[in-house]
Amino acid sequence: MEGAFKKRTSKAGVIVSARPETLSKATWLPALAKGLGVTMRHFFTNIATGKDIATIQYPEEKAPYPHRYRGLHRLMLRDDGSVRCVACMCCPTACPAHCITIVAEETGNANEKRPAIFEIDELRCVVCGLCVEACPCDAIRMDTGVHAHPTEKRFEAVLGKTDLMSRGAQSIATQGGKNDWRDTEKTP
């Protein structure tokens, strides 16, 4: 048993050098004083001059949103004030977060439906804009520029058809686009 616990000797030699211990290295007080000095220098520089401060005083100042900020959803309206959506189910199909719920109902017209229920859960929405791109009728947009409001209860963040229509306006899009694209193009 004694042979199993024998100390092995290595062929490489180990050189141990002693470090010079000084009072500043042995105690932590000089390092603490140096760190506090840096902190106090930055503190008084920012208080006196106000330079290099990246903090925004929120209630008085608001950070500008980026130019391409989308905002909350809105449903577009037709000339008669009804919703432009035809319940084709393209937007809930394209939504990766599955935050859009549509229940279709008949309009009386055999060629068209409308949404009886149109809900978007803004807490689940990832603001990707795929629903806007998927809509063939230009019924849903994300160009309000309005940030989602804070809520205390989850159901307050689910926007219904009336909420979405109140943000919408009459759409200026025409079915099939412009009649002739050359009318707006300038000729040299």
CATH number at 158 reads: 3.30.70.3270
Q: Determine contact, residues 83/165, Cβ cutoff 8 Å.
A: yes
| Residue 131 domain boundaries | 74-167
Question: Is 32 a domain residue?
Answer: no
User: Which residue from 103, 92, 108 is spatially nearest to 161, judged by alpha carbons?
Assistant: 103
Whether pTM > 0.85 for this model: the answer is: no
Report which residue type is found at 146: V
Say if 144 falls within a structural domain.
yes
Residue 106 lies in a domain: yes
Owner of token pair 């577009």:
76
Residue 82 within a domain: yes
Residue 175 lies in a domain: no
pLDDT value for 134: 95
d(CA 159, CA 66): 24
Number of domains the chain is built from: 1
Domain-embedded: residue 163: yes
Stretch among 23-27, 158-162, 163-167 having the lowest mean pLDDT: 23-27
What is the predicted pLDDT for the residue at 132?
93
- Each residue's pLDDT tens digit, 69-107: 888 899 998 888 889 999 999 999 999 999 999 999 998
